[in-house]
Amino acid sequence: MEYRILGLAAEAAFFSLLSVPPLLLCLVGLLGYVDAWTGADTIAGFEQHFLDASRTVLSDQGVHDIAKPIFEDVTRGRPDVISIGFVFALWSGSRAVNVFIDTITVMYGLDGVRGIVATRLLSFGLFIVGLIICSVALPLMVAGPDTVVNVLPWSGTAVQILYWPVVIILCVVFLTTLYHVSVPVRSPWIEDVPGSFVALAMWVVCSFLLRIYLTSTIEGPTIYGSLAAPVAVLLWIGVSAFAVLVGAAMNAAIDRVWPSVATSAAREANERAREAEAVGAMARYAAERAGHGEPGDPDMPSEYPERWAGFLPPEDVSSRLRAHVKRRPGKHAKRPGPGAGT
């Protein structure tokens, strides 16, 4: 594909998955400081879920020797684990967001407009905002309205009516904001909404197809063994990243057909800057050739490099050379004498 969407989605999925373990360690470390508020039951329940998830990757001995001691050590309150885990998660997660920002910028033809430092800082900010929104939206999508009603029995009717609209609005707002701020120039926020709906629809369809695939290949006895759960998570994150990039490509295609004033002006300025850079590079190359005494305009035509002579029949070679000489008589023909025309 033109923008390598599949490869870039895989790159974003890898760095996103890389940020999950340090985030979990950071969360577990925070539990050691808020146990007085949450209570022992919360920590015990979280420990059980943590060990159950570890068994999908580790053996029972690995869970007993590695996962359980780490959890018990971290929950006693480890500021070093919290800080290091958060920094590593921030780096890897923002690296995934950086892939989205760079790809969206290239889709709009505005690569090089925003600097590397500004792009990286924007990636850090979007990753933190995404963590906050996903911490609310993803549990709601996974739990479903019935779970919310069980927690808040008095809000049964309101939850049944507003549950999915609120989840969809949160996802659309986050995706639209991601698309909007990824473009180096400011355009109306509403113009990025179509891509958000396309990405959300694509994510739902791809997640449904992925669930069918995983049900038939990974559930039960499988060749993946203990890697089945990480493979499933990586595939799901990759599908999500692919949907986000497809939505961005939709917005970029719409902007190419009906460009906004800001993006059109920035794209033209970027193209002029590239042309000026190309002209400067050609001038430097010509000056370098002249400095080494190499001819700047060799007699051999550009459509006939000398290295092709071995691949062409002799008659074709001679005919091409004769045609080239006829096209340039001023350089190869003799000048007529003073009385030649009389």
310-317's contacts with Cβ under 8 Å and 24+ in sequence apart are: none
Let me know if residue 342 belongs to a domain. no
Q: For each of the chain's 342 residues, which pLDDT tens digit applies?
A: 455 788 888 888 889 888 888 887 777 777 666 665 555 556 676 677 777 766 666 667 767 777 777 777 776 666 777 788 888 888 888 999 998 998 888 888 888 788 888 888 999 988 888 888 777 666 666 556 666 666 666 666 777 777 778 878 888 888 898 899 988 888 888 888 999 999 999 888 888 888 887 777 666 565 655 666 777 788 888 888 999 999 999 998 898 888 888 888 877 887 787 777 777 878 877 777 777 666 555 554 544 444 445 555 555 545 555 555 555 555 444 455 555 444
Let me know if residue 168 belongs to a domain. yes
Let me know if residue 338 belongs to a domain. no
Per-residue confidence (pLDDT) for residue 341, from 0 to 100: 47
Compute the distance between CA of residue 146 and CA of residue 265 in angstroms, rounded to an integer. 50
Let me know if residue 95 belongs to a domain. yes
Let me know if residue 88 belongs to a domain. yes
Domain limits at 112? Answer: 5-33+77-263
Which of these, 45, 72, 67, lies nearest to 56 by C-alpha position?
Answer: 67
Let me know if residue 120 belongs to a domain. yes
Let me know if residue 334 belongs to a domain. no
Let me know if residue 295 belongs to a domain. no
CB 276 within 8 A of CB 112: no
Q: How many domains does the chain have?
A: 1
